[in-house]
Structure 1
Amino acid sequence: MLDTPALDIEGLTVRYGSAVAVDGIDLHIPRGQTVALLGPNGAGKSSTVNAALGLFRPAAGRVEVLGREPGAAIRDGGVGAMLQHGGLPSETRVGEVLRLVGRRYAAPWPLADLAATTGIDGLLDRRVDALSGGQRQRVLLAVALAGAPPLLLLDEPTSAMDVEGRQAFWATMRGLADRGHTVVFATHHLDEADAVADRVVVVAGGRIVADGSAAEIKRRIDGRTVRFTCPGPRDELVALPGVTGVTALGDLVELATADVEATLRGLLATRDLLPDLEVRGATLEQAFLRLLDTRPETGALR
């Protein structure tokens, strides 16, 4: 049913020996959302994705994928996965791999459209072992999409891609979201999460410490930044009203301020020119780092 969530996790706990990787996570993802999982190494992102794929039995909690247990949803072709260390059979060609995978599904994605959608239509005759890192990632995406799954789970999908490849990849993801696919991805690239995700879930210490749109999470951080080109003296900047910090990269200066209007009035009172002036709110990276710095020792921040 369309009102059945794509992913419904309640009280998920994952342990590796005595170490707790995921500590009682609740996560409800409706169909059609694009959701980014953010967190430092060891936060529990990959373990959560692996539990959703039924790759192990969790220590506690419930995981439902498209209203079923993970294994059943995967067997029915409801889930496509792209993991950090996905492999492809050597000594084969890309088209051969995709045709073989497509035979596993009752209604596979037509190969020509699948190749065009994932940007590999020029690679179907290429040997797998001749692919670049970025090309391999796009072929792995095509493998994940071969069954036209309603839910796509991605773990660090752009780790081997250059900037151009990442941009093309996320253009593909936006197209899939427009077609109604649910996309859940774990990433260290906060700019990707900010630009692409409808919703951002921040995980630290095995717990969810923030959950909302990127804009909502950024609004949790007080203050703004004022940036401008300042080739001359700058010692007096730290004493301006509202300024809480000063950073510089070459001639570019960035002032963190708790009162942007007071800071701007102070600048205008002391300087005739403010080249390249910009006033910005908190970035997702700043909000992310603040969340990690301020969370309680238990890892929970509700």
Structure 2
Amino acid sequence: MVQRQTPQPVVQLIGVSKSYGCVPAVQALDVTIFEGEIVALIGLNGSGKTTALALMAGLLRPTQGQVRLFDQEASASQNRRRVGLMPHTRAVPESLQVDEWIDFCSQRYDDPLPPSFVADVADLSDFQSAPLATLSNGQRRRLAFGLALCGIPDLLLLDEPATGLDAVGRTVLAQQIRHFAQTGRTVVLTTHDLTEAEALANRILVLHHGCLLADATPAQLRQQAGGSRIRCRTSLDLDWLRQLPSVTDVCREEAFVYIHTPTPESVLRLLFQYDEQLSDLAVSRGGLDDAVRQLIHTTSVVI
């Protein structure tokens, strides 16, 4: 009988905090990420996602605590060739051609992927002679993903990888990320898109004000939400809605009000009773976005 090997830790954040002056970016993070995992960092703007990713990449040193990659200090030179990074933005020499830029980036690795394969991953095989300045935002993002893979890394760090991609590009990117992880390698990505996080990740880390609110599977987070979500247009005051029996969370996003409750029937009766202009009503089971919203709302109230 063949015994399955225990997955080895790839990323370890041990009591990690990072401040810029007196402003904390991440606070007391304790996280271990194992080989073969796809982990999504989610949270509002300014929650510390990009800082956490930069710490994992060894680009930043923690103010307190320790970051380890492959059981070494994250900044160790040996790690540089084992980590592929796709930053959210990256300055490029606009006058270079696509193939020239791939060749240049490949030179830092001992045994990189063939440049033609990188161009194919980026769906730029027909644009290898094109100047970088002529690429669209989506093409630049696909190229950045291909370059992150060109060193055949054991750890892939992706900062908002799907930004700027169309629907087809997002689907292809998701397939490529899954294939990469299936080889036993590790992926950590940041995203604002909870649908993307739920579809890709087997673990989700929820950050808020630099603190780790949750470390769970998508299913575990959805279970926390429970109940139902009511979406509607209403003139009723949000604070009044929050006082209704069984209402656990209320928020407004653009023109819509979202109400989370385990007993939607009773809440709906009150909505119809007190708002004759109630419109655009929809009721759905609680999902990942509801769970994250509740976590953030509850923590904000405590803070």
TM-score for both structures, normalised by structure 1: 0.79
The whole-number CA distance in structure 2 between the counterparts of 1:7 and 1:148 is 17
SS of the equivalent of 1:200 reads: strand
Report how far residue 287 of structure 1 moved. 1.1
Answer yes or no: is 1:155 the counterpart of 2:159: yes
Contact 2:118 2:147 in 1 (8 A): no
Q: Name the amino acid aligned to 2:179.
A: G
Whether 1:199 and 2:199 are equivalent positions in the alignment is no
Aligned ranges 1:151-230 → 2 under 5 Å: 151-225=155-229
Offset of residue 35 of structure 1: 0.5
For residues 263-300 of structure 1, the C-alpha deviation after alignment (integer angstroms, 9 at most, x for no partner) is: 9xxxxxxxxxxxxxx9853121111111101126676x
CA distance in 1, matches of 2:175, 2:48: 27
8 Å Cα contact 1:66-1:78 kept in structure 2: no
Match status 1:290 vs 2:298: no
Change in 2 beyond 3 A, CA 1:73/1:39: farther
SS at match of 2:215: strand
- The correspondence for 1:29, drawn from 33, 36, 41, is 33
AA in 1 matched with 2:110: A
**Would the alpha carbon gap of residues 59 and 76 (structure 1) be closer, same or farther in structure 2, given more than 3 Å must change?**
closer
The residue number in structure 1 matching 2:52 is 48
Aligned equivalent of 1:275: none
Q: Is the 8 A contact 2:26 2:48 kept in 1?
A: yes
Partner amino acid, structure 1, of 2:38: T
Q: Tell me the residue number matched to 2:131.
A: 127
Q: Greater CA deviation, 64-73 or 201-210?
A: 64-73
Deviation at 1:70, TM superposition (A): 2.0
How many Å apart are 1:257 and its aligned residue? 5.0
The 8 Å contact of residues 51 and 63 in structure 1, kept in 2 or not, is answered as yes
After TM superposition, the score normalised by the length of structure 2 is: 0.79
Residues 5, 30 of structure 1: 8 Å contact kept? yes
Corresponding residue SS for 1:36: strand
Please tell me the residue identity of whatever aligns with 1:33: E
Query: Deviation digits for residues 41-97 of structure 1, max 9, x if unmatched?
Result: 111111111111222221100101122222325654100111112122211111111
Match of 1:13 among 12, 17, 25: 17
What is the Cα deviation at residue 158 of structure 1? Answer: 1.9
CA shift, 1:225, in A, is 4.7
In 2, Cα distance between equivalents of 1:200 and 1:141 = 21
Task: State how far apart, in whole Å, the 1-side matches of 2:11 and 2:302 are.
Answer: 26
User: Is the 1:24–1:207 Cα contact (8 Å) retained in structure 2?
Assistant: yes
Measure the CA separation in 1 of the matches of 2:200 and 2:220: 15
Select between 73-82 and 254-263 the one with higher mean Cα deviation. 254-263
Counterpart code for 1:52: M
* Cα separation, partners in 2 of 1:161 and 1:74, compared to 1, 3 Å: farther
Of the structure 1 ranges 159-168 and 286-295, higher mean CA displacement relative to structure 2 is found in 159-168
Runs (5+) with no aligned partner, structure 1: 228-237, 248-253, 264-277
Q: Which amino acid aligns with 1:94?
A: V
Letter in 1 for 2:168: E
Matches within 5 A, 1:59-98: 59-72=63-76, 76-98=80-102
2:115 maps to a residue whose letter is L
- C-alpha RMSD of the superposition: 3.4
**Structure 2 residues not aligned, in runs of 5+:** 232-240, 252-257, 268-281
Amino acid at match of 2:145: L
Query: What is the distance in 1 between the residues matched to 2:92 and 2:259?
Result: 49
Distance in 2 separating the partners of 1:210 and 1:99: 41
Equivalent pair of 2:88/2:159 in contact (CA under 8 Å): yes
